[in-house]
Amino acid sequence: MKDSSGPLGGVTVVEFAGIGPAPFAAMILAGLGAEVIRIDRPASNGSHAVTDLFTSDLMNRDRRSIALNLKSPAAVEVTKRLVVNADGIIEGFRPGVMERLGLGPDVLSEVNPKLTFVRMTGWGQTGPLAARAGHDLNFIAVTGLLNAIGTKESPVIPLNLVGDFGGGGTMAAIGMLAGILSARSTGKGSIIDAAIVDGVSLMGTMLHGLIASGLWSPQRHDNLLDGGAPFYAIYRCADGKDIALAALEPKFFAELCARLGVAGDQAFGNQYGRDTWPEMRRVLTEIFAQRKREYFERLFEGADACVMAVNNFAEAEMNPHLIERNVFEEVNGVTHPRPAPRFKDFNPTISPPPFPGEHRDEILEELGFSTHEISVLEDSGAFG
């Protein structure tokens, strides 16, 4: 069981196996000390394919696993026993799936009136698209946010960080915490519709404000924060490596100009004068193209010019600042990002992802099942 010393010590969450945002939300909660029990699908025919995939997905770390065949009535009853003393559940199925399994919020809230029931989907539980298939790219496309990210010629895929993990999993974790707090003060649980389209739209609040103020152009790569400004952009150095400039404020821009030796250049005389931006970009492009990135890293070391190397993952692991802060940790030869945010008196230990069903017997014993009852459940097909 989880160390109860963490900020979420004593919190128990039941997670229904899925991919993407729901496991990410569960990982966040587990990393902060919550006991997360994941209900996995049983591996079929002894195949290692499912277990190998599970244990290679780092987002499945820090929890225990029980594999249940949820089409079995006996497995449904086991699930209800799990939920009796849980604070919350996370599920990422399409709308209606939990109801068809006999595990919808109406049923489980009868089992545990204080339960926080987080429903993690892309489109949400309602609306014309609710039953449609989709992935991260579809969800951020419909919100308008994808259209704002990229070059003049085309939007650029921001991995699945904006949708699945930002608007999805992170918001689901916040919803879980809010629901648990509410249940502890009111005695009543919550049903939370955690839709990626909602979370992504919320993340775009600042942009909607800029649009309303006439400060945001609908043309990509034409604004202060989308690469349109030459002092908030990425440049290629002579060795093919990239460097990021983010000298938004005048004092940082002045330091940038001083270090590069362009303070007297007419193109840099009016930072926010858009008519100077093309020439400013041309000069900066030429400067960075003449030397290796390492030169500029040394040039800007200790400077408040907001200039930083664009690291790849291997370089990030070697960055002195990230090393000092122990941002990464090696577990069984695999690099894991450490849990966040940090608490002063809590230093969590990362446990690698288990294989589906690894903790079945110990979980069932904690629920009060005898050896004989577990054997009966096996014969019933509850475990697949």
Phi, psi angle pair for 5, to nearest 5°: -80, -10
Tell me whether residue 265 is one of the annotated catalytic residues: no
Among 164, 198, 226, 359, the one annotated catalytic = 164
Angle between the N-to-C axes of helices 73-84 and 371-380, in degrees from 0 to 180, rounded to the nearest 10: 140
- Please tell me the distance from the alpha carbon of residue 351 to that of residue 31, in angstroms, as a whole number: 10
Element (H, E) at 24: helix 21-31
- Please tell me the distance from the alpha carbon of residue 351 to that of residue 353, in angstroms, as a whole number: 7
- Please tell me the distance from the alpha carbon of residue 370 to that of residue 364, in angstroms, as a whole number: 8
Count CB-CB contacts under 10 A for residue 231.
23
CA angle 355, 356, 360 (to 5 degrees): 110
- Please tell me the distance from the alpha carbon of residue 14 to that of residue 35, in angstroms, as a whole number: 8
**In this structure, what DSSP letter does residue 168 have?**
I
- Please tell me the distance from the alpha carbon of residue 256 to that of residue 262, in angstroms, as a whole number: 9
- Please tell me the distance from the alpha carbon of residue 334 to that of residue 328, in angstroms, as a whole number: 10
- Please tell me the distance from the alpha carbon of residue 178 to that of residue 164, in angstroms, as a whole number: 20
Single-letter amino acid code for the residue at 145:
L
DSSP string, 331-372: ETTEEEEPPSS-BTTB-PPP-PPPPTTTTHHHHHHHTT--HH
- Please tell me the distance from the alpha carbon of residue 317 to that of residue 313, in angstroms, as a whole number: 6
**Residue 354 CB contacts under 8 Å (≥ 6 apart), including other chains:** 54, 55, 60, 63, 64, 65
Single-letter amino acid code for the residue at 228:
G
Helical residues (DSSP H) of 130-262, grouped into ranges = 136-143, 171-186, 196-203, 205-212, 250-260
Tell me whether residue 52 is one of the annotated catalytic residues: no
Question: Which residues are tagged catalytic?
Answer: 135, 164
